[in-house]
Amino acid sequence: MSAIDTLLAQARSRLQRLDPAQAAAVQRAGGLLVDIRYAALRARDGTIPGALIVERNELEWRLDPTGDHRAPEATGHDLHTVVVCNEGYASSLAAASLHQLGLHRATDLIGGFQAWRAAGLPVTPGTAPPATG
Please compute the mean of the pLDDT values over residues 51-79 and round it to a whole number.
Answer: 96
Residue 131 has pLDDT above 70, yes or no: no
How would you list the strands of the sheet with 107-108, edge to edge? Answer: 52-53, 32-35, 81-84, 107-108
Burial of 33 (0-12, 13-18, 19+ CB in 10 A): buried
Nearest to 83 by CA among 25, 24, 31, 35: 35
Domains in the chain, CATH or no CATH each: 3-118 (3.40.250.10)
Q: What are phi and psi of 102, to 5 degrees?
A: 100, 0
Q: What is the pLDDT of residue 132?
A: 61
Query: Global pTM?
Result: 0.94
Per-residue pLDDT band for 1 (boundaries 50, 70, 90) equals confident
Residue 101 has pLDDT above 80, yes or no: yes
Mean pLDDT of the chain: 95
